[in-house]
Amino acid sequence: MTLDSRVAAAGDLFVAVVGHQADGRRYIPQAIAQGVAAIVAEAKGEATDGEVREIHGVPVIYLSQLNERLSALAGRFYDEPSERLRLIGVTGTNGKTTTTQLIAQWCQRLGETSAVMGTVGNGLLGKVMPTENTTGSAVDVQHVLSGLAAQGATVAAMEVSSHGLVQHRVAALKFAATVFTNLSRDHLDYHGDMEHYEAAKWLLFSAHHYGQAVINADDEVGRRWLAKLPDAVAVSMENNINPGCHGRWLRADAVEYHDRGATLRFSSSWGDGEIESRLMGAFNVSNLLLALGTLLALGYPLAALLESAPRLQPVNGRMEVFSAPGKPTVVVDYAHTPDALEKALQAARLHCAGKLWCVFGCGGDRDKGKRPLMGAIAEQFADVVVVTDDNPRTEDPKAIIADILTGMLDAGRARVVEGRAEAVTNAIMQAAENDVVLLAGKGHEDYQIVGTRRLDYSDRVTAARLLGAVA
């Protein structure tokens, strides 16, 4: 089953949808020429709903509102894969990748065969293949899930983007549990304003089979949603839980940060406990709690979860630490929104005895409004700010840097180094042994988009090489 006429082959089902950019019905002749067995096409403006025609001997079934029905259609085609494994969806601006990875790792430790779907890629844990979008097309999602089930996956933890929700890409999935991490400024170039962005995320808990809801009670939006979801699990680091008011709950009672990670003591509806974590920063403790709350709600035993917790690994490019004797500590993080950058800097500060450096840029051809905000945050929370390129795409890198500098009270104090590799190298070479250097924005990415070209570049590889170390 495919939406792409270029890869449609003999015996396939070609789906011709009307998208923002293209009308897939224009490619029906090409798909027929390539030998497809049948075609499902958008009815609007062409035929009545349910009408069947034959073109050159190939049946064409016309359905109205095909985009909205595509997830269910693909689910039927691939034998409802979300019912053949335990599917956990995670949505929110920040924390989706870490939370899905922690859930998948934890389940694997408890004897499940885990898979992940999202920003870093799709696949069984340890065999993840890179992807373009957080949430693929409605057909891709069902196809990937079907493949994971066929490979023996018993649990899949999936990042669910706001785009994916609005575009009905996960509409027919049966989630065993759904997790909300937080909501802050991102993707406003697509959604227009925060109200529409919140409404997009809320779709997961209102218009879908969401299973057990697990909500971050420290987030303002999360608290609003908890009032509407009486059966949800409330999770908090900031004592935003009244056990008498909520259903089931999980709360951090004390967190101690150190150079190896954090020690967390918690209480919950399932009992109390302590976890030694190798993750950095308060928001990663929040992600860990959300993962724990989800697995407790799904019936995994607390004792087994606590026993396996110390072996949970940080995610590549998510507050990932690189260190070597006599060198500064380098932290690589994907933070590319104002809120994520602030959280990453605050997290790094908890583990920093010397100066805190921040090396970052902003993506080209994307939300320009966040650039000065990120400049202001870097200036406020870091001791040394190095402004450089991220993925400039088709914009002038100098113009992007200028936009960032407008948010700073004293832009003259910022170090501007065009060329990311040079900026990262300079910062790591100049920082002192007890300094922390945060490389923000690219995380796990192993490329840089300059113009329309995709160049080989990785903050992780650069940091490891300069330190002569591994994470």
> In which residue are the tokens 């089902």 written?
13
CB atoms near residue 353 (< 10 Å): 11
Annotated binding site for ATP: 92-98
Segment holding 397, helix H or strand E? helix 397-405
Picking from 240, 264, 243, the residue whose alpha carbon sits closest to that of residue 252 is 264
Distance separating alpha carbons of residues 74 and 86, to the nearest angstrom: 18
Pair 388, 419: CB distance under 8 Å: yes
Which parts are annotated binding residues? Answer: 20-22, 92-98, 133-135, 161, 167, 169, 366, 390-393, 441, 445
Binding residues for meso-2,6-diaminopimelate, as ranges, are: 366, 390-393, 441, 445
Rounded distance between C-alpha atoms, residue 354 and residue 179, angstroms: 36
Phi, psi (deg, nearest 5) at residue 271: 125, 180
Residue 385's CB is within 10 A of a number of other CB atoms, namely 25
Question: How crowded is the C-beta side of 127, counted as CA atoms within 13 Å?
Answer: 9
Here the tokens at position 368 are 């320009």
Residue written as tokens 């009815």?
Answer: 43
Neighbours of 42 (CB within 10 A): 23
Instruction: List CB contacts of 191: < 8 A, sequence separation 6 or more.
Output: 162, 166, 197, 200
> How many beta carbons lie within 10 A of that of residue 330, not counting itself?
30
